[in-house]
Chains A and B, each alone.
Chain A
Amino acid sequence: MAGSYLRFPELSRRVWTVWKRNRDVFMKTYRVNFIPPFLEPLLYLAALGFGLGFYVGTVDGVPYAKFIAPSLLAISMMNSAFFECTYGSYVRMYYQKTFDAIIATPLSLEEVIGGELLWGATKSLINTSITLVVIVVFGLAALGTAIFIVPLAFLAGLLFSALAMCFTAIVPNIDSFNYPTFLLITPMFLFSGTFFPISSLPVAVQQVSVIFLPLVHVVNISRALTFGRLTAPLLLDLGWIAIVCVVLFTLSVKLMKKRLIV
């Protein structure tokens, strides 16, 4: 049985029918959905970037607002995907019985979960793109490389969606999402080189962060792309994200199968 956790799920293009279902629901209320990713970076930039930044001055030689701009993009990727595939997916799975209805059709449960994960990645792409527009308008990003934030948002979104889906597969009830939210997402939000350089943390903490926290790697790439300073070590970050993404994707589908079928 342990071997089955290593096999990547069998998916067909039918995953997109699940993706389309979520897209259609999203588009029904698109006006409301576009507000948070537009307002959030404005609030953070005003309070932290320019407010706190007035006292901070520069970090690593860049103005504070410019320093946190890529973090806001990375946080947008994490939050939009994570909350879509925890609360959003859980509501569809448990309260609305949407998954039950779909697996009575030719779709498999693997494809339903695959579609949910792709949708989580898409939510990350949509929200991050809006955040990116705000950041570009404030002149905080190098246009030529910053455009690659968009595909990064999809990849990182897929990782955080899969991470979220693992929790969705094991929580006993919807309130239990407080554990991963406050024990994992909030610390990651604060300690991944987002609002201060990771180098100011104790070395041991730095090492643990680099090994275990996805957001550290996403922030590294996002910062390089918004600053327009690409370096070779970024490939390590990208590799870390890609590998963990495949592992979590596979694991989350297996765990969901275990929850809903076996």
Chain B
Amino acid sequence: MRIEDNQKKKKKITVSGVLLYALLIALALVYLLPLVWMLSVSLKSNREVLTSPFTPPSVLQLGNYIFAWINGQLGVATLNSVIVCTTALVISLLIGAMAAFAIARMRLGFLKYMMQYFLIGMMIPVHCVLIPLFVRFSNWHLTNQLIGLIIPYITFSLPMTIFLMTGFFKSMPGEIFEAACIDGCSIYGCFIRIALPLSRVGMFVAGIMTFVGNWNELLLAMVFISDVAKKTLPVTLTYFVGPYATNYVQMFAAIIIAIAPTIIVYSIFSNQIVDGLTTGAVKG
């Protein structure tokens, strides 16, 4: 009886299961095909794109990438993006983890309000502070400098970092810190020697989110930087809309160059990223 029941159940699952998987695969194609198509277009010649946009390229035009890299000045842009994002990443992780440690672990009344203060930052769009920030930064001669982008990027990454890291620090058992204290460890030692090494997963996730967010940021970079040699990648891409508008293949080659690092990092670490993000979000 029981075996029959199980078999019945199994059969039922496979029937609806086929439909379910068909739907999921169709959706996955909606996600992947545009990206694959973009890759195929970036390897065609301009004429081929106009005559037969949906067939695979007949001859691989690798020259598109070289042209986009040189004419679109993607090399400089990539370097700038790397400098800005890495610096912002390191500093915001350090500052964010420090604040999160105090909020999660220390017992002082005002720290609760601190958390709310930082969370308000998540609700405020960058656009709202764009003008005063621009005015102030031009007075301080920080516009057209990479440091002028790094400072706001650090600030706008902080709420997310603090939110995620607080979740991770809270989930650590208090006994570890007690034991360290008994052995004569200071509060700074607790942070540097215990909390930081134990929260590597959290740091990793917060770090990736910060990096990706800043890597893709367009508005601030567009407003703050007008010097061509200081532009970041997303800004450089927008130039392909204007003067290069008919040169589709180079535009797509440039886009591929710009998003390839993100796709590669994501496909290597996607499980950790997605899981780590939700751990922090649910606990916090």
Tell me if chain B binds chain A: no
